Amino acid sequence: MRTEFFQLEILSPVYIGTGEEIDPMAYLMRQDENQILCHVLDTRTWAAEYPDPDELSATFSGTNIPAMRSYLANHIDPALYGLRAVMVSEEKIFHEYQAKLADQHSSHQLLISPHLSCREQVPVLPGSSIKGALRTAVIDWLDREKHLNLKAARAEDRNGRAYIRRLESVLGPITDNAFKQLKIGDVMGYQDSTLLVEPRELRRKAGKEATPKTKCEVLPSRLLGDRRQALMHTRIALGSPHKKDDQRFTLPNGQSWEWNELATLANAFYRERYLEEKNKFYNLPHFAPARLHLAEIETVLLNPAPGQMVLRVGHYSQVEFVTVHNNQPFTRKGQQGTPLPSGTTRTLANGLYPFGWICLTPCTEEAYLKGLYLCESANLIALRRKESGRAEVLRERARHQEQIVFREAALRAQQAAEQRRQEELAAIPEEERNIVLLERGELNEQQIFDLFASLDSLESNLQQRAAKALKALWITEKRWSKKECSKKQLEKVKKIKSILGEP
């Protein structure tokens, strides 16, 4: 078995699901000036670290799910508790999210199907998906060339035993299947590179009602997303596991292919089906927008370079591409008693982009290692940026908390000082109190007027204190010298001077 190296390009959006949907409590969407992001959240950690567990428990112990989701959206910080960020490809999806978030019916939730990712939240294109797409092309060739008549086998035994026996006749038993000679590793993508799209079903008959589908997360591609992040690298081992230098895929009957021959076989399979699909769907007028985008990748689909292999993988790859030509699925019978046709719709990302097209191109080991290095470096930088962002958020929170503590301490000190002040004032006789407040600069204009009016009723020592305080105030306010005073103020100044014994 020999290992060869490949560049893998995602030509159109690829969706490899997990079989589950993201809990509506486990994501939120945020919009800034440049983009809309769907943040997948670590709500467990958020709940464990929430500063007020009682408040959290009170909010989430009820049955009002819209209220819970609104609370979560307003209180969780994606910079701290975001697992990954998915770019929302259409503003329409964001508006739908906002509408459902505001809807008080708990059943009205925007459902999202995530793409397969590894533990580190990096998107993964499984090697098994690539291998399965190639396997379909090989089985199709065997069905035609070796006259397996797989459809008749399915009709003969709906449990699939007859079907399996016919495959085993050319591929060998499951325990020693020929496809053990093909090993394809999982392909790691770029952190936070995926996009959220809406799969829209278009029927051949324009305007006919289509089946709504759950929004899904897709890999970036040449058609949608960052094209640089649509370039990944993998290695493929081909040949007998027991023969070091063997590099051929060999059947029990001796039929064998090396890589270029397998690529020719697979390309023929997918080229034929693409042309049938184009003629059946994309040449129709209401498919015109999708046809324009397909033109960007059609050269690769129809005329791949030597050694390149074009495949279609993942969900929404359409029935014709995942079954052999003479083995179309059984369908229910229509009104005429004949089976209804299969493959009468196309599911397109945002109604524009076909799902699932990829291209494998042989490359050198050096190019493979360089590609891995670029991807891993980008992911490491993204991870460090996230960690740095989290650290900065935590520092900012700590600074904010310190400011709160400082303000609270200052407020307590101010309140204590005010309390002491009030206690001190309460201990001063009433006729002396306004004089003390005047000396402190704490009387308003009306209170000063009232104090001046009461001077004659004060004892001599208090009268002297009040006069000194009024003099100091009016000097500061430039209302003491003759040239600065009005006639009325000048009379007040003369009285103060007389009390103080000044000329």
DSSP per residue, 241-263: TT-TT---EE-TTS-EE-HHHHH
What is the pLDDT, as a whole number, of residue 7? 96
| Domain contains 27 | yes
User: CA-to-CA distance for 139 and 375, rounded, in angstroms?
Assistant: 34
pLDDT > 60? residue 30:
yes
51 or 218, greater pLDDT:
218
136 and 101 in a single domain? The answer is no
Give the model's pLDDT for residue 424. Answer: 86
Q: Please tell me the predicted confidence (pLDDT) of residue 419.
A: 92
For residues 277-306, average pLDDT: 94
Q: Which of 13, 231, 5, 28 is CA-nearest to residue 115?
A: 13
- DSSP single-letter state for residue 329: P
Residues 48 and 157 in one domain: no
Assess if residue 371 is contained within a domain.
Answer: no
* Same domain, residue pair 127 and 101: no
**Are both 205 and 132 inside the same structural domain?**
yes
Number of domains observed in the structure of the chain: 4
Tell whether 82 is covered by a domain: yes
Dist. CA 141–CA 24, nearest whole Å: 44
Residue where a domain stops, chosen among 41, 75, 110: 110
Check whether residue 29 and residue 92 sit in a common domain: yes
- Clarify whether residues 282 and 150 are in a common domain: yes
* Average pLDDT for 187-210: 90
Q: Is residue 334 part of a domain?
A: no
Q: Decide if 337 is inside a domain.
A: no
Query: Is 370 a domain residue?
Result: no
487 and 397 share one domain: no
CB atoms within 10 A of CB 91: 10
Q: Tally helices (H) and strands (E) across the chain.
A: 17, 18
Same domain, 164 and 256: yes
Q: What is the mean pLDDT of the chain?
A: 88
3-state SS, residue 211: coil
**Helix H or strand E encompassing 3:** strand 2-10
**In terms of domains, do 168 and 216 share one?**
yes
pLDDT of residue 338: 55
Residues 82 and 149 in one domain: no
- Does 273 map to a domain? yes
Q: Which domain holds residue 196?
A: 1-16+115-329+342-363
Q: Does residue 477 lie within any of the structural domains?
A: yes
